[in-house]
Amino acid sequence: MDPTIESRLQHFIQAKGLRNTPQRNSIVEAIFATDEHFTADELWERVRKTQLRSSRATVYRTISLLVEAGLLHEIDLGDDQKTYDPNFVDSPAHNHLVCIDCGKVVEFEDKHIKLLNDCATRRLGFRPERQTLKIEACCEKLRLHGRCENLIAARVQGKRLPKKR
């Protein structure tokens, strides 16, 4: 796991007078083992498969802790359940593009976007602090070639496809 995360978490834990527990550590590890987004229940499933299983409650509590520490961000993908994104430690200012066809989420950074938004914010009389951009878009590959591997993969995996609005 990224040593940055390790140390930032330790900092936070000590500053708050909290303790180190095997359950919490194992959940944190499961979160940052990949760069995938997840819901609380998906994470619980992931943790269930490790040697050190934790209760749902502890999973929820650990998520809250990490969000409070700024190591994990809640993002809005339009789902009913809350979705979490573990990649803000590495890319503090990334944006999300959600494919309308297959639901795949693409993360991207763009300094021009950030700059322009900050400009607009100042023009309105505010000091920019955080920005969240979600773009919903259709897959060109699907439109031009009639097929897109992501869509096929999603169907095979039985993923819930996004509701067209």
* Interface residue list for DNA (CB under 7 A): 13, 17-24, 39-41, 53-58, 60-62, 64, 80-82
93 binds, among a copy of itself, DNA, none (CB under 5 to 8 A by kind): none
17 binds, among DNA, a copy of itself, none (CB under 5 to 8 A by kind): DNA
105 binds, among DNA, a copy of itself, none (CB under 5 to 8 A by kind): none
Query: In this structure, how many other beta carbons lie within 10 angstroms of the beta carbon of residue 142?
Result: 18
Asked whether 44 and 37 are in contact (CB, 8 A), the reply is no
Amino acid present at 56: R
- Give the pairing type, strands 83-85 and 73-75: antiparallel
For DNA, the closer of residues 81 and 132 by Cβ is 81
Amino acid present at 100: I
Smallest distance from the beta carbon of 80 to DNA, in angstroms? 6
For a copy of itself, the closer of residues 49 and 164 by Cβ is 164
Distance of CA 31 to the CA centre of its chain: 10
The residues pairing with 85 across neighbouring beta strands, listed in sequence order, are: 73
Interatomic CA distance for residues 86 and 91, integer angstroms: 10
Interface with a copy of itself by CB under 8 A: which residues?
67-68, 70, 76, 95, 97, 99-100, 106, 108, 110, 112-113, 116-117, 120-122, 124-141, 143, 165
